[in-house]
Amino acid sequence: MNTPLHHSDDSEFTPVLIVGGGLVGLSASLFLSWQGIPSILIERHPGTAIHPRAMGMSPRTMEMFRAVGIEEDIRKIEPPVPQGSNVPLVESLMGQEFDCLQEDIDSLFSDPNSAARGSAIAQDVLEPVLRARAEQLGGDLRFRTELVAFEEDEEGITATIRERGSESTKTVRTRFLVAADGSKSAIRKQLGIGQHGTASMGHFVSMIFEADLMKVFHERHAIMCFLSNDTIAVGSFVPYPGSVARPDLFRVDVGYDPDEEKLADYPEERCLQLIRAAAGIPDLKVGLKAVLNWEMNALVADRFQQGRVLLVGDAARTQPPSGGLGGNTGIAEAHNLAWKLAAVVRGEAGEALLATYDAERRPVADYTAEQMALLSQQRQEGSAGITVDIVAVNTGYRYGEGAFAREEGDEHLPLALTPKQWRGQPGTRAAHLTLEQGGKQISTLDLIGPRFVLLIGPDGRHWKEAAQEAKDVLHLSLDSYQIGGEEGDLVDVENRFCDAYGIAPGGAVLVRPDGFIGWRSQGAEVGKQEAKQALVQALSTVLFR
């Protein structure tokens, strides 16, 4: 990064500085604001995304957005994906269908293990929703602002930032820097953090355009298509349904060889020919908006943390778009990191807690990149014998080590399973169950907020008192709910709580603010003092005190 030209005495402090205001950086700002933690986000571009790019938020991601209060805002813009939607392999949009991937889409957008349905919302429409909610909660978002330099010392980081178009710079002092600056991350490179995995898995040209084709996609019940014909050997066709923000847009991707061609070899006339071949309509009226090129990679950073700098999103890992999990994985990284930063900033945890971000998320990134590379191979080559469970990859993974109390034998557990196969093991996502409160049905996941939550079995009366005493001892926020029983706070509608969480009626489960299980007491009912001691010890273990 360049040395600043002019340096002013105008400096300020923020607990967290986020560099990059794309999908993941905005999510990080929102999750921190939801936790009540001030932050500054800087983004070199003048505003949010102008092209659709990523499309598709999984049920797990929509759970996170539901918690921070934007699920309904998203639904108003983009309704849930209809049941029975598919991804056909076709000669063209109007042509012959060779194969159908309906099962993949139903599982990706409609997961019975979740309280939320997925959404096909596009990135350029979603980002303004994230921005508005983050700012509403107090986030300081500064567009047209870039990072010029940063330097770390024992107590924090001194960052130099500059409003683009100006030679004047400003100093920001921060405790932690979150690098959300994309796949070519200048911050990652400056820190000398390498990458591992598979690069150059394919090169593609993306053509973004307006056309009157949405009715055809709806008639085919398709949310996208893969293509193969005489003009396009390997390609894809993605619709981006319009909103109040813009008209309907579409994207056609075609593979190319960078040793033989450059982006300049795709002038408008050639792009129109390719788009019409993809649609199967020779005289289709097309309004070409942009032509971009991109490279498919499956690369993971060798470490997600170096000192006070933490990598998220594409700065931390990139993966093939197959399965639509790139943005979803990045948002999950921001969600995991935000509560830990919040706990450290509030003084509830030591800085050692932040090391669990790398310990938890990097193995998941390796696994996800590997699985999506396999899925991409399957779809490009028609490879037999390759099975990828997208729901297990996105929602059913387990943290092998990190901010939770391990149990005997958990080292033998698999890295991922279909979510319904887990039974409350620490390091796994808390299960969705239907409960009733005041005559209204809610999900167990609706009980999870910015604080720790203790879910208590129907006979676990001492755990509620223990929760109150543990809060006082450790000086942190903790909610508690007894599920079922005569004195329960909520009705266990399906009578499945104890089985789903692997506890006896007198047991209890501690859920972290990111919805992952931090600890549980599986056994029979315990005494008041024993419950208090166990819970204080569990929270101390999770928070690395």
Residue 31 lies in a domain: yes
Tokens standing for 355?
């090391």
Q: pLDDT tens digits for 103-122?
A: 566 667 777 888 898 888 88
- pLDDT (0 to 100) of residue 11: 82
- Asked if 463 and 456 count as a contact pair (C-beta separation under 8 A), the reply is yes
- pLDDT (0 to 100) of residue 348: 95
Q: 178 and 322: one domain? A: yes
Q: 224 and 166: one domain? A: no
Q: 54 and 182: one domain? A: yes
Residue 184 lies in a domain: yes
Using the 3D structure, point to which of 265, 280, 297 is the last residue of a domain: 297
Residue 285 lies in a domain: yes
Residue 262 lies in a domain: yes
Q: 339 and 274: one domain? A: no
| CATH number, position 247 | 3.30.9.10
Q: pLDDT tens digits for 320-351?
A: 887 678 899 999 999 999 999 999 999 999 99
Using the 3D structure, point to which of 245, 264, 297 is the last residue of a domain: 297
Q: 343 and 486: one domain? A: no
- pLDDT (0 to 100) of residue 526: 80
Residue 111 lies in a domain: no
- pLDDT (0 to 100) of residue 102: 61
Flag whether the pTM goes above 0.85: yes
Range of the domain at 174: 6-77+117-196+298-381
- pLDDT (0 to 100) of residue 243: 66
| Beta strands per DSSP E along 302-336 | 305-306, 309-311, 317-318
- pLDDT (0 to 100) of residue 103: 59
| CATH number, position 526 | 3.40.30.120
Tokens standing for 141?
């978002």
Question: Which among 297, 279, 403, 400 is positioned nearest to 349, based on CA atoms?
Answer: 403
Using the 3D structure, point to which of 297, 314, 342 is the last residue of a domain: 297
Number of domains in the chain: 3
Q: 415 and 510: one domain? A: yes
Q: What is the rounded distance in angstroms from the CA atom of residue 223 to the CA atom of residue 346?
A: 44
Q: 250 and 351: one domain? A: no
Identify the segments of the chain with pLDDT beneath 50: 1-8, 383-384
Q: 455 and 502: one domain? A: yes
Residue 191 lies in a domain: yes
Tokens standing for 326?
């790139």
Residue 214 lies in a domain: yes
Dump the DSSP string for 428-444. Answer: SBPPP-EEEETTEEEEG
| Beta strands per DSSP E along 472-537 | 478-482, 491-492, 508-511, 517-521
